[in-house]
Structure 1
Amino acid sequence: MTGFELADDVEARLLVVPVGQRDQLCLRVFPQAVEDDRAPVVLVVPAMGIVATYYDPLARGLTLAGFPVVVCDLRGHGGSTPPVSRASRFGQQELVAVDLPAAVAAARREFPGRPLVLLGHSIGGQLGVAYLGRPEADVDGLALIASGTPHHRVYPGPRGLRVLLGTQTAALLGRAWGYFPGDRVGFGGREAAGVITDWARFARTGRFRPDGADLDYERAMSTVDVPVLVVSVEGDLMHTPAAMAELTGKLGSTRVTRLRYTAADAGRKLDRYRWVRVPGPLPTWIKDWWRDAADHGGGRP
């Protein structure tokens, strides 16, 4: 399948959404560059520490495939305010129970009447899978690209030990510093201590159980049945096919399509972040997957 050239003339409009008394989410809203009435809205949830603007090439490629696109800066990152600091008192529960519902509702308002697909990258996919288990979840499909469980036991031998030690050390550093200084240590950017603590627990136990959880996420996720696209990326040593299979295995969905994105597909080397910037075939793959899902009664049962 062919890819799309980047559409540099497709500009994003910024949308600010209040979440709570002091926090605001910043969304980048991209209109369709090519009209397609069947294309759903794609809501992109970024990886840890990655700002929404990094996804502009992917968003523009998706617009050329006919998708309206909304990219969300996670709380405390990019245009979302205030920035992460020692004063940050949120964790993954707030991201899943407050921020994602707000982002989905905003995307629905921007493009009324369309289905909505949540596209999660790395921790964005982990949050998206958990969000789908919530009673207020309002998503018609899920695309996971380079996103799997952080559970250390899915990795072979020494790599699993490195994942365990790395995640637990990050949590300790976050508690000691008041936030995780990823910008100083070269991983993930500055992050709220609560988010890192929850992520480290997930890596240690294999279960999504954030501090302050208001429901049993593992049980709730097992009842979800929406079309799911899973794309593993060559060169991504963190989100392996096994890690991605364990994450999607938490869902009850029987409609799972698995693809592998390789350097041969992209025409250049890939890794767990570089794929976002490559004008490859992913928009076409997502379009074909959604059309097939819709033709077979896609969306929520």
Structure 2
Amino acid sequence: MNLNDTPPRMPSTLSERSRSEPFKEPATDGHPISGFTWRHPRTDLERPVVIINAATSLRCRYYSRFADYLFANGLDVITYDYRGIGESRNGSLRGFKASWSDWGVLDFEAILRRAQREFPGQPIDVVGHSFGGCAAGLGASGAVIRRIVTVGAQFAYWRDYQASGRWRMLAKWHVVMPLVTALFGYFPGQRLGWLEDTPAGVVRDWSTPTPTYETRPSGRALGELPFSRVTAQLLAISITDDPFGTVPAIERLLAYYSNSDRTHVRIAPEDIGEKQIGHFAFFRSEYQDRLWPIALAWLQSGQLTTDTLGISPNLRFNTPPRSTT
């Protein structure tokens, strides 16, 4: 399999220098959600608290080193697992009901409320990887978000996939994945080495071949989408060899954030001396000095400079509104 579109195996423990504390939080429907908090001992109303939204079916532990980095640079951080995944899984997923919209409307919303309660008066920022960037727009309390950084964020419309691998990806994620899910009652990702085990409703949302979020199964149930409540400064980071995060895919999601000030930074691997980065590698610690400062600068100031980027300023551009149809 191409490393660019295959999730890495998750570490079994948090990084050794992590200063996180575990927590449990009831989602807005009461379902228990588990995660970790990095908290500085002294309250500072100028210090942001950053919520990290994972990609579809990646454990929040995958982002622990990135959370350590943000914490070391003076930010408070919250990571968590969506229902049915990692720390928030309880028993078999066969027949377990969960969808993309549940992950955003119920789970992310609960973490937003927790951030307001546990860090009163502090700015709330969000980092969203892949679907995590979509989840950031689904919470009813989205108006409280100050800044957002997304990495490869989109909602898997197959025609937006990178042209060179589109048919292979269509077969893998939109044919094989739902067929295996129908057979088992959930997607046994750990057994196949593709993802974490994934609820069937999430697979239905992912694999439905429609270009708009509101026509995905759980999106139809929402009626009015809450994205417009978000007025945050939004930085979208995409990588040129990410087969999911093409320009059309990134802009398709950004168009939903119609009331946000949106900036799109597109980075080629060769810009930082690499041959490939792909969809998953941004959060690996090997990029702490070359990619992570881009996200940190945005969270700290809402601005980017050529020195911060370490790449050509021509790669930074504002994204205009774009039709989602």
Structure 1 length-normalised TM: 0.81
1:43-88 per-residue CA deviation (whole Å, 9 max, x = no partner) reads 0011122111111110011112211110111212221131451031
Partner SS, residue 25 of structure 2: strand
| Amino acid of the structure 2 residue aligned with 1:184 | R
In the other structure, the counterpart of 2:213 is 207
Taking the aligned partners of 2:141 and 2:114, their CA distance within structure 1 comes to 18
- Contact 1:24 / 1:82 at 8 angstroms: preserved in 2? no
In the other structure, the counterpart of 1:299 is none
Query: Which aligned pairs between 1:269-284 and structure 2 lie closer than 5 A?
Result: 270-278=277-285, 279-284=288-293
- More displaced 10-residue stretch of structure 1: 138-147 or 260-269: 260-269
Query: In the alignment, does 2:69 pair up with 1:61?
Result: yes
Partner SS, residue 259 of structure 2: coil
In the other structure, the counterpart of 1:91 is 99
In the other structure, the counterpart of 1:126 is 134
Taking the aligned partners of 1:137 and 1:25, their CA distance within structure 2 comes to 22
In the other structure, the counterpart of 1:174 is 181
Displacement of 1:263: 4.3
1:240-270 per-residue CA deviation (whole Å, 9 max, x = no partner) reads 2331122112220351122234546666553
- Structure 1 residues 10, 251: closer, same or farther in 2, change over 3 A? same
- Structure 1 residues 111, 264: closer, same or farther in 2, change over 3 A? farther
| Amino acid of the structure 1 residue aligned with 2:54 | P
- Contact 1:13 / 1:29 at 8 angstroms: preserved in 2? yes
- Contact 1:120 / 1:143 at 8 angstroms: preserved in 2? yes
Displacement of 1:105: 1.2
Q: Please point out which of 90, 108, 115 is paired with 1:107.
A: 115
- More displaced 10-residue stretch of structure 1: 148-157 or 238-247: 148-157
- Structure 1 residues 222, 89: closer, same or farther in 2, change over 3 A? same
| Amino acid of the structure 1 residue aligned with 2:282 | W
Taking the aligned partners of 2:129 and 2:142, their CA distance within structure 1 comes to 22
In the other structure, the counterpart of 1:23 is 31
- More displaced 10-residue stretch of structure 1: 58-67 or 72-81: 72-81
Displacement of 1:97: 1.8
- Structure 1 residues 216, 165: closer, same or farther in 2, change over 3 A? farther
Query: In the alignment, does 2:85 pair up with 1:77?
Result: yes
| Amino acid of the structure 1 residue aligned with 2:31 | D
Query: In the alignment, does 2:153 pair up with 1:144?
Result: no
Q: What is the number of equivalent residue pairs in this alignment? A: 283
Displacement of 1:15: 0.5
In the other structure, the counterpart of 1:257 is 263
Taking the aligned partners of 1:289 and 1:55, their CA distance within structure 2 comes to 18
Taking the aligned partners of 1:263 and 1:159, their CA distance within structure 2 comes to 18
| Amino acid of the structure 2 residue aligned with 1:237 | P
In the other structure, the counterpart of 1:3 is none
Taking the aligned partners of 2:74 and 2:271, their CA distance within structure 1 comes to 21
- Contact 2:52 / 2:80 at 8 angstroms: preserved in 1? yes
Taking the aligned partners of 2:229 and 2:132, their CA distance within structure 1 comes to 20
In the other structure, the counterpart of 1:228 is 234
- Structure 1 residues 18, 225: closer, same or farther in 2, change over 3 A? closer
Query: In the alignment, does 2:196 pair up with 1:189?
Result: yes
The unaligned stretches of length 5 or more in structure 1 are 1-6, 295-301
In the other structure, the counterpart of 1:298 is none
Query: Which aligned pairs between 1:8-47 and structure 2 lie closer than 5 A?
Result: 8-19=16-27, 23-32=31-40, 38-47=46-55
In the other structure, the counterpart of 1:285 is 294
- Contact 2:162 / 2:243 at 8 angstroms: preserved in 1? no
- Contact 2:71 / 2:77 at 8 angstroms: preserved in 1? yes
Taking the aligned partners of 2:249 and 2:29, their CA distance within structure 1 comes to 36
- Structure 1 residues 135, 290: closer, same or farther in 2, change over 3 A? closer
Displacement of 1:228: 0.4
Displacement of 1:225: 2.9
- Contact 1:228 / 1:253 at 8 angstroms: preserved in 2? no
The unaligned stretches of length 5 or more in structure 2 are 1-14, 304-325
1:145-180 per-residue CA deviation (whole Å, 9 max, x = no partner) reads 122231122235463333433333222322232001
- Structure 1 residues 117, 135: closer, same or farther in 2, change over 3 A? closer
Partner SS, residue 302 of structure 2: helix
Paired-residue identity, %: 24
Structure 2 length-normalised TM: 0.76
1:12-52 per-residue CA deviation (whole Å, 9 max, x = no partner) reads 10011123777321111012499975331110011122111
